[in-house]
């Protein structure tokens, strides 16, 4: 039986709501991921704090865009496979970044990896606090924060790829089955990729700033007391992503 | 940064800048059919407006650096600008202001950041960013006209990737002036002079993109127009920086040279 006009419109609205919710979930995953990544900011660049030596916002966009690249490469594959692969690629990116930072801190600066928040490293049970130079709050990225960073980058990559893939498939005019499964396309739609990439970066920046305002500078992965701010930050990200999801859906109508 | 709170005396009232930015930006987008140079030049006004808004909000000390505010504005602005160029620029502007206002309310409600002027600035910032982006994006592909989104904008600006350059350059133009000038002696007039200079960089980049578009599709953008866009951008860039450096030198303290070789006396 042919679907009537009314039913088609109904499908369309269902699809739009699904897109909105998936974009919001992507935003929440990105924001949650950043809480796990040790963000050091400017103090970490001088080796006076634990973490990756850049701001929250750049880390969010970096992890999200790595996920975006992978998702754009695997544009027509099964959606869960795409986002998990993108998450792994993002974790590899962050792992290499943190490893190089540790090499520089250990062999370049000559400081032992340590943090001041806890007496012992919760994973290796090593006594790390005595190695913190007086006047600083840590150096490099010790094991507990390193693992947190890998996991956080994985989550952020999942979110980035989910946001981009959903936008791309929506722009290409995919139905509900194609949206969540395999996309029946043999060559990529470059116009749709360009449009969704720019809108996706806009969405990352909006979520990145909520997280950045809530972290305010420095966080040491899951051992940091600031981790308590997670629920309200995620709630804020979910609402903001839903809000701007309306603009995204309008911007990425089928072309 | 934390202790500097309420804005000090200003050279230009933010109200006038807002009116100028709104009028200039809207006129720029809608008059694009006359010549693409009009939106390119008028994009300075919304950029200066947004830069002043960044100045007002970042003066409170947000703890994440000034560029984050510029990137936030451009993140919201680009979504609204795409919607605006797709359907109707005025609708895009309205969306930018409304959604920015709601974003400010969400941030306040969940106690992520508590700054008194946040909601108001979040209304103005995306509006300014969206207007600046709409002006520049339409200028590169020969001015706004009905139905140009699918025909001109997507193949010439998005597929070629020029949009990324314009996106980040506009973000820089909004965030950089206050980021470079902040400090106890920051003065609005000086910061906004730098904003005009950086807007020149933005126009120059748009002109370079327009040169590419002139080669790809000569029917919508002629080579002389693109070249004059680059030249106008360069003039604004050099002129803005010249005035800014002059002002900065006049207002800076004299430092006596006591090093080697000899004293300057």
pLDDT at res. B236? 94
| Buried-state track A38-50, b at ≥16 Cβ within 10 A, e below 16 | bbbbebbeebbbb
A232–B167 CB contact, under 8 Å:
no
Residue A57 at interface with chain B, using a CB cutoff of 8 Å: yes
**Contacts from B117-124 at CB under 8 Å and sequence distance 24+?**
B117/B56, B117/B57, B117/B60, B118/B57, B121/B53, B121/B56, B121/B57, B123/B97, B124/B18, B124/B49, B124/B50, B124/B53, B124/B97, B124/B100
pLDDT at res. B264? 55
| Buried-state track B230-257, b at ≥16 Cβ within 10 A, e below 16 | bebbeebbeebbeebeeeeeeeeeeeee
A232–B74 CB contact, under 8 Å:
no
B141 within 8 A of B221, measured Cβ to Cβ: yes
A56–B64 CB contact, under 8 Å:
yes
Q: Which residues contact B152 (CB under 8 A, 6 or more apart)?
A: B141, B142, B217, B220
Q: How far is B62 from chain A (nearest CA, A)?
A: 7
Q: How many CB pairs under 8 A join A and B?
A: 116
- Cα-based distances in Å from A64 to A32, A60, A191, B24, B98: 12, 6, 20, 35, 26
| Range in A174-183, B134-143, B179-188, B199-208 with the lowest mean pLDDT | A174-183
Residues of A in contact with B1 (CB under 8 A): none
A206–B113 CB contact, under 8 Å:
no
- What sign has the CA pseudo-torsion A229, A230, A232, A236? positive
Q: Mutate which of B62, B67, B72, B152 to disrupt the A interface (most A C-beta within 10 Å)?
A: B72
Residue in A191, A212, A233 closest to B158 by CB: A191
**B242 has a pLDDT exceeding 90:** yes
From the list B12, B14, B13, B40, the residue with the least C-alpha distance to B27 is: B40
pLDDT at res. B45? 93
Q: How far is A167 from chain B (nearest CA, A)?
A: 13
Residue A247 at interface with chain B, using a CB cutoff of 8 Å: yes
**B111 has a pLDDT exceeding 90:** no
Residues of B in contact with A208 (CB under 8 A): 68, 71
B79–A202 CB contact, under 8 Å:
yes
- Searching chain B, which residue's CA lies closest to the CA of residue A214? B112
Residue ranges of B 110-139 with Cβ closer than 8 A to chain A: 110-113
Residue A173 at interface with chain B, using a CB cutoff of 8 Å: no
Residues of B in contact with A55 (CB under 8 A): 64-65, 68
**B6 has a pLDDT exceeding 70:** no
Residues of B in contact with A210 (CB under 8 A): 107, 112
Q: Report, as ranges of residue numbers, the positions in chain A whose pLDDT lies below 70.
A: 1-11, 217, 254-255
A255–B150 CB contact, under 8 Å:
yes
pLDDT at res. B44? 93
Mean pLDDT for the stretch of residues B135-154: 84
d(CA B36, CA B24): 14
- Searching chain B, which residue's CA lies closest to the CA of residue A60? B68
Q: Mutate which of B1, B61, B64 to disrupt the A interface (most A C-beta within 10 Å)?
A: B64
Confidence bin at B77 (pLDDT 50/70/90): very high
pLDDT at res. A11? 62
**B5 has a pLDDT exceeding 50:** no
Q: Mutate which of A209, A226, A254 to disrupt the B interface (most B C-beta within 10 Å)?
A: A209
A247–B110 CB contact, under 8 Å:
no
**B265 has a pLDDT exceeding 60:** no
Mean pLDDT for the stretch of residues B14-27: 90
**B46 has a pLDDT exceeding 90:** yes
B103–A206 CB contact, under 8 Å:
yes
pLDDT at res. A91? 92
A213–B76 CB contact, under 8 Å:
no
A205–B71 CB contact, under 8 Å:
yes
Residues of B in contact with A23 (CB under 8 A): none
Residue with tokens 């994009």: B43
d(CA A35, CA A40): 12
Which pair of tokens denotes residue B21? Answer: 């930015």
Q: Backbone dihedral region of A9: left (phi > 0), alpha (psi from -120 to 50 degrees) or beta? A: alpha
Residues shown for chain B: 265
Confidence bin at B1 (pLDDT 50/70/90): very low
Residue A241 at interface with chain B, using a CB cutoff of 8 Å: no
Which pair of tokens denotes residue B125? Answer: 């910032």
Residue B61 at interface with chain A, using a CB cutoff of 8 Å: no
Residue in A217, A243, A251 closest to B83 by CB: A251
B203 within 8 A of B234, measured Cβ to Cβ: no
pLDDT at res. B3? 41
């Amino acid at each position: 039986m042919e679907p009537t006009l009314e039913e088609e419109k109904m499908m369309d609205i269902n699809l739009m709501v699904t897109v909105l919710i998936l974009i919001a979930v992507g935003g929440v995953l990105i924001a949650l991921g950043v809480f796990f990544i040790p963000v050091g900011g400017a103090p970490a660049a001088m080796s006076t704090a634990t973490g990756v030596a850049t701001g929250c916002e750049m880390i969010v966009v970096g992890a999200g865009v790595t996920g975006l690249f992978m998702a754009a490469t695997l544009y027509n594959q099964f959606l869960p496979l795409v986002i998990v692969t993108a998450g792994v690629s993002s974790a590899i990116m962050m792992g290499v970044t943190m490893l190089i930072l540790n090499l520089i801190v250990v062999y370049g600066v000559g400081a032992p990896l340590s943090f001041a928040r806890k007496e012992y490293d919760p994973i290796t049970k090593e006594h790390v606090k005595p190695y913190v130079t007086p006047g600083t709050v840590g150096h490099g990225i010790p094991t507990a924060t390193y693992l947190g960073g890998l996991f956080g980058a994985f989550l952020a990559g999942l979110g980035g790829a989910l946001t981009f893939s959903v936008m791309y498939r929506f722009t290409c005019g995919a139905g509900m089955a194609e949206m969540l499964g395999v996309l029946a396309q043999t060559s990529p739609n470059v116009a749709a990729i360009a449009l969704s990439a720019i809108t996706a970066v806009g969405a990352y920046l909006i979520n990145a700033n909520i997280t950045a305002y809530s972290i305010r500078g420095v966080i040491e992965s899951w051992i940091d007391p600031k981790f308590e701010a997670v629920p309200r930050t995620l709630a804020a990200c979910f609402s903001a992503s839903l809000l701007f999801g309306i603009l995204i859906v309008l911007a990425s109508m089928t072309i | 940064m934390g202790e500097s709170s309420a804005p000090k005396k200003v050279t230009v009232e933010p109200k006038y800048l807002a009116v100028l930015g709104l009028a200039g930006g809207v006129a720029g987008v809608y008059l694009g059919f006359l010549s693409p140079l009009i939106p390119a030049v008028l994009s300075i006004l919304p950029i200066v407006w947004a830069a002043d808004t960044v100045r007002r909000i970042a003066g409170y000390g947000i703890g994440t650096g000034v560029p984050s505010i510029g990137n936030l504005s451009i993140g919201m602005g680009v979504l609204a600008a795409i919607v605006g160029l797709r359907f109707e620029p005025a609708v895009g502007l309205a969306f930018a202001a409304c959604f920015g206002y709601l974003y400010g309310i969400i941030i306040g409600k969940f106690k992520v950041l508590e700054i008194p002027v946040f909601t108001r600035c979040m209304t103005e910032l995306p509006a300014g960013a969206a207007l600046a982006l709409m002006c520049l994006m339409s200028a590169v592909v020969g001015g706004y006209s009905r139905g140009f989104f699918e025909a001109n904008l997507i193949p010439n600006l998005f597929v070629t990737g020029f949009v990324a350059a314009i996106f980040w350059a506009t973000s820089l133009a909004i965030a950089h002036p206050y980021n470079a000038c902040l400090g106890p002696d920051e003065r609005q007039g000086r910061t906004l002079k730098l904003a005009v200079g950086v807007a020149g960089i933005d126009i120059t980049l748009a002109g370079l993109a327009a040169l590419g578009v002139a080669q790809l599709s000569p029917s919508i953008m002629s080579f002389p127009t693109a070249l004059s866009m680059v030249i106008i951008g360069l003039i604004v860039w050099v002129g803005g920086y010249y005035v800014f450096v002059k002002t900065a030198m006049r207002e800076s303290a004299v430092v006596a040279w006591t090093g080697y070789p000899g004293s300057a006396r």
